[in-house]
Amino acid sequence: MHTQTVEAANWWARPRGPQAREWVETYQRSLQARHRTVLVEIMRELAPATVLELGCHCGPNLIRLCETFPHLIASGVDANAEAIVAGRTWAAARGLDERTEFQVGRFPEVTHALADRAVDVVVTCYALAYVSPSDLQAALYEAGRLAATAVVILEPMVSGEAGPQETRSLSGYTEWAHDYQTALAWIGTLRGVSTTLTPIRPPVDRLNAALVVRRCS
């Protein structure tokens, strides 16, 4: 794995200690953020029974989806143990613990034991932005392997010949805006797909679009 990917994963995985509560609450207050509303509308069309989010933090997307769709079963993985514990607590407090599952681990290693097409829809939301271009192919392949119906990519994106754009965060790790439509060949088990791109305007931080990659058969 590329050094830049490891640096970003290490930063997100490190314990926050006394700052953990405030850090988690920032995510919990974002339930109605516009990119989550776009995700809800995408899921309304896809109508999945099961969803897996890669890089879920404490679960604002999962909580929002489960409260919108009463029969949805949602799971998430994240590198940060404090965020995962907070997600479990939050889901239980909202009566969603029987329909949600949170697991600590780094993607893609944490999902390798799951079967092909283990869930209907796989979601990433500002998670692949921390993956170096050198590691993007493997990440997209794993997302496609796990998805029976579709992969939903909510990320900073670029398109055209410019190639991926690199930004150094104030915290020291690197963020990337990838050209996902060019990289779609690496969603390896999703051969024969349709795609839909929905802009996020204005962007949420650098998250500027949602790309839905859907199986045609």
CATH of the domain spanning 3-215, picked from 3.40.50.150, 3.40.50.2020, 3.10.290.10, 3.30.565.10? 3.40.50.150
**pTM, to two decimals:** 0.95
Annotated domain spans of the chain: 3-215
What DSSP line would sit under 71-91, residue for residue?
T-EEEEEES-HHHHHHHHHHH
Contact between 197 and 211 under an 8 Å Cβ cutoff? The reply is yes
Q: 5-14, 26-35, 74-83, 168-177: lowest mean pLDDT where?
A: 168-177
**For residues 83-109, average pLDDT:** 97
Q: 77-86, 90-99, 131-140, 191-200: lowest mean pLDDT where?
A: 191-200
**For residues 57-82, average pLDDT:** 98
